[in-house]
Structure 1
Amino acid sequence: MKEITGNIWDYLGKAVICVTTNGHMTRKGEAVLGRGCARQARERFPDLPARLGALLSEGGNHVHVIGDGLVSFPVEESPWANPDLRLIRRSAEELRASADRGGWTLVIVPRPGCGGGGLSWEEVRPLLADLFDDRFIVISAA
């Protein structure tokens, strides 16, 4: 795992980008992408809430390949919940398995749960370190 500072969107089209998410959907079946990189992704891809909502409805709150080079990375069950360290670990395991299956060579991951979620990187980093090899770059805002 490599760690850098920068803009996650500079890697769009060059790497798989993880969008930290929750498992909540609106009554219309759209994923709630309210803050952080999820909100930024929603602004860039207006159909993203509907696409992710369909995946959540079908497969639950798990890592999903959304399209456009984006992958969901669940960190909490709802927008009102605190990030869950067990869910972050499970998401990291699922992301690693997806990268192995898909032959992904570069995966950009924001510090999960550490932005709006309020977790410290010191408590999250150990959950990822043994799973993420050099294909994974954890990015924090510059």
Structure 2
Amino acid sequence: MSSGGTIEIRGELWDHLGRAILAITTCGRVSKRGEAVMLRGCARQARDRFPGLAQRFGALILSGGNHVYDMGDGMVSFPVEDDPFGIAEPRLIEQSCRELVSLANQKGWKRIVVPRPGCGGGGLEWAQVRPILERHFDERFLVISAR
């Protein structure tokens, strides 16, 4: 399915690991131990799959703020909120779109899979988020939702 510049697919995010860059929706909170707070959704799954990821990502947030980062292992952060207990923020999703497109251009990435940002635990509706993505994403970006 496609609407504008957004290509939507169904399936599991992790099925694309190694075949595409995976965007992991994240928040900007860091624990007292210096680890990124990755409590739910694909952030928690990434934390559990990749030991040391929360520490590496926490260091990036502490040094550069809540932004899109190449986290290694074929993943990038995609901030949707500052606080893990708050509602996702459309302005932050917009910023993350711009930063992800810029990073994809810089790295020459041809395929990036993004879950519907802010639409799970973040509390936003897809109808609110889709227009933001459509303004920025091109055919390299696939927006995945559960089967």
Task: Deviation per CA, 1:31-82: give whole Å up to 9, x if none.
Answer: 0000000011111112110010011011100000000001000000011121
Q: Structure 1: how far apart are the matches of 2:45 and 2:89?
A: 22
One-letter amino acid of the counterpart of residue 26, structure 1: S
CA distance in 2, matches of 1:112, 1:101: 22
Q: Distance in 2 between matches of 1:5 and 1:105?
A: 19
Which residue is 2:30 aligned to?
25
Q: How many residues were matched structurally?
A: 142
Report the AA paired with residue 29 of structure 1: G
Deviations 1:3-24 (A, max 9, x none): 0110000010111000000000
Alignment of 1:1-142 (within 5 A): 1-142=6-147
Compute the displacement of 1:117 (Å).
1.1
User: Which runs of structure 1 show a deviation greater than 2 angstroms over 4 or more consecutive aligned residues?
Assistant: none
Q: How far apart are 1:118 and its partner, in Å?
A: 1.5
Coordinate RMSD, CA, aligned = 0.6
State the one-letter code of the partner of 1:89: E
Kindly, what percent of the aligned residue pairs are identical?
Answer: 56
Q: Distance in 2 between matches of 1:78 and 1:99?
A: 26
Give 5+ residue unaligned stretches, structure 1.
Answer: none
